Amino acid sequence: MNKEAGKKNILDYLPEELEAVIAELGEKKFRAAQIFGWLAKGVTGFDDMKNVPAPLRAELAEKYYIGLPEAVRRQSSVDGTVKCLFEFADGTQIESVFMKYEYGNSICISSQSGCRMGCTFCASTMDGLDRSLTGGEMLAQVLAMRNLTGEDIGHIVVMGMGEPFDNYEELSRFINLIHDKKGYGLGLRNITVSTCGLIPKIRLFAEDFPQVNLAVSLHAPNQKLREQTMPVAKKYDYDALLKTCREYTVLTGRRVTFEYAVIDGVNDSPECAKELASRMKGWLSHVNLIPLNEVRGRKYKTANEKSVAAFKKILESNGVAVTVRRTLGSDIDAACGQLRRNR
């Protein structure tokens, strides 16, 4: 059931599109910027838009709704991490996570409900794709999380449920929405998008958003191993993927971060580390080692600390930039996509 059936989500509209809406209602264009500004503040109803005339507010409310999701489940960690299961008006559920870092507060948002990429270690993909989110629904996660925590959010990672490049148009809309100075005004360098490696979209992204950070989920040192855990590797070959990423660094002058979930007995051997190092050496690459989040119903175990440390050392001694992702919210555990499955 859709609680807002027949209405449109006003959070999906860019300022120039809102101008057209306003013009259609016979009102002055400058109202669009006012409304866009209010929406970025996280208002939940049109009547909160104090400087917008009441008749216009009423007209808008007839045709549009402010699509902020409802938090149907919430987990808070002692380290400040807040994980939310959000539900949109049509019942679609997704997860977002608020995290505190030294450099500021960050949110991890979802781009789709479910996912069709099929990575074998991931919880989000277990039931396939439910539906893609709109740009406004990505923005809505940031606004709802800020309302909920009362905290500013200065960094956004699109690393929640879904494959953002499988929803490229709406991802672009989201970036344009959150970057617009009339609204949230977030700097492009404060956004990171993570992809499982859809090559044509990486090229497009380098052209469209050269300032937005790119992370690529690699999780293996070669094609054979990558194919075992990531079906997408069968479509986009390992060598071609790395070649595209190198081209990305040349085009944008910016590094690519490679995510590497370290899985016990699968990709954590010193040989794997050496092979990965040989592929990463000598260009603007950065490896982010992620201790695997164990997912119920998946066979994989997280690699032990010793093998992660040894893995890191091998990369370092080969001159490869490497970090180990800090584990946040370990007391609320649940790998991404698990909150939705355990409802």
In the complex, the residues that contact ligand SAH under the rule CB under 6 A are: 117, 119, 121-122, 159, 163, 194-196, 217, 259, 261, 290, 292-293, 295, 335
Q: Which DSSP letter does residue 220 get?
A: S
336 is catalytic: yes
Both tokens assigned to 172: 């672009």
User: Which residue's CB is nearer to ligand SAH, number 19 or number 259?
Assistant: 259
- Smallest distance, Å, CB 301 to ligand SAH? 11
Rounded CA-CA distance 86/144 in Å is 9
User: Which residue's CB is nearer to ligand SAH, number 27 or number 163?
Assistant: 163
User: Which residue's CB is nearer to ligand SAH, number 28 or number 296?
Assistant: 296
CA torsion through residues 175, 178, 179, 183, sign = positive
Q: Which of 84, 122, 196, 336 is catalytic?
A: 336
95 is catalytic: yes
- Smallest distance, Å, CB 185 to ligand SAH? 25
- Smallest distance, Å, CB 6 to ligand SAH? 32
- Smallest distance, Å, CB 149 to ligand SAH? 21
**3-class SS letters over 118-183:** CCCCCCCCCCCEEEECCHHHHHHHHHHHHHHHCCCCCEEEECCCCCHHHHHHHHHHHHHHHHCCCC
- Smallest distance, Å, CB 177 to ligand SAH? 19
User: Which residue's CB is nearer to ligand SAH, number 230 or number 314?
Assistant: 230
- Please name the residues in contact with 257: beta carbons below 8 A apart, sequence gap of 6 or more: 192, 213, 214, 215, 216, 286, 287, 288
Rounded CA-CA distance 273/279 in Å is 10
User: Which residue's CB is nearer to ligand SAH, number 65 or number 258?
Assistant: 258
Give the strand pairing for 104-108 and 93-101.
antiparallel
Q: Which of 95, 137, 170, 259 is catalytic?
A: 95
**3-class SS letters over 270-335:** HHHHHHHHHHHCCCCEEEEEEECCCCCCCCCCECCHHHHHHHHHHHHHCCCEEEECCCCCCCCCCC
| Enzyme catalytic residues | 95, 336
